[in-house]
Structure 1
Amino acid sequence: MERLQAVADYAAAWSGEDAETIAAAFARCWAQDGTYTDTMTDTVVGIDGMVRLVLGTAERYPGFTLRPTSGLDTHHGVGRFSWLMTAPDPIVAVGVDYGRELPGLDFVEFTPDNRIARIVGFFG
C-alpha cells in the first residue's frame, strides 16, 4: 500500500454512510492497534473505535463531509496533510463556532507496510 492511498482510504472512511462501509475503508488503511487523538476526543484505538468515532461525528454533525485539502507531506514514516470538514449546520468544536467549515491538520505515523499507526489531529 502507498501512503497516499492510505490517506485516501482514511478520508473515504470519514465519508462512509454506514458502519460496514466505514469499517471496510478503515480495514484497508488502519493498523489493528492504530490510534487517533484530536482536541475533542480521548485516544481512540483500532478499527472498531474509529467506526464509532465516525458514526458519533455523523450524529453530532448530520450531513458532514471531510476531504483532504493538501497533498501528503511525508518523510521517515511520518506525514501531515490538511483537511476541511463541512456541514449544513454550524460546526462547534471545543467551544469555537467555525461556521459551516472546519479546517484541520492531521499528523500521521505509518507502519512499515504504510498503514496508519497514529493520527494526531488539530482544528483551525
Structure 2
Amino acid sequence: MTTTTPTATLVQRYLAAWNATDPAERRAAVEAVFAPNARYVDPLADVTGTDALDALIAGAQEQFPGMRFTPVGEVDAHHDVCRFQWGLGPEGAEPLVIGFDVAMVDADGRITGVVGFLDKVPTA
C-alpha cells in the first residue's frame, strides 16, 4: 500500500488490529479503529460491537496462528466508504487467504461497518 490518505491510514490501522496478538493491545486497537456499535459481516461471521469484534479477531488468530494480514493493492475510497483487498498468510510469503472488504467510516474517522468477501481460500 503506497497511498497515505487518511483512509489508507485507517485501513493500515484496521489490519494492525487484526494482527495484534496481545489481548490488551488488540482491544485498544479495536476500540481506536471501530465505532462502539460497528458491525462486521463476512461469509463466516456477523458480529456487532467492540466486544464481539475483539472476540472474532482472537478466534481468527487461534485458527491461523502465526499468520498476518497484509494489504493487497491500493485502497479505493469515496464519501464515507472504502474498499480494499487483504491477504492472510505467513509473513513475507504468498497469502493463503485473500479477501476484499468494504468499510463505512463515520465523521470521527472510525469504522462503523465492514462487509467482507473471501476471494481465495485454501481447499481442505
TM-score by length of 2: 0.82
Task: Please name the residue that 1:85 is paired with.
Answer: 88
User: Which of 47, 50, 69 lines up with 1:47 in the alignment?
Assistant: 50
User: Which of 12, 19, 24 lines up with 1:8 in the alignment?
Assistant: 12
Larger deviation: 77-86 or 45-54? Answer: 45-54
User: Which of 20, 23, 28 lines up with 2:24 in the alignment?
Assistant: 20
Question: Do the aligned partners of 1:69 and 1:84 also contact (CA within 8 Å) in 2?
Answer: yes
Task: Please name the residue that 2:40 is paired with.
Answer: 36
Q: Show structure 1 runs of 4+ deviating over 3 A.
A: none
C-alpha separation in 1, matches of 2:76 and 2:54? 26
Q: CA-atom RMSD, angstroms? A: 1.8
- Size of the aligned set, in residue pairs, is 112
Report percent identity of matched pairs: 31
TM-score by length of 1: 0.82
Report the secondary structure of 1:114's partner residue.
coil
Gaps of 5+ in 2: 1-5, 120-124
Gaps of 5+ in 1: 89-98
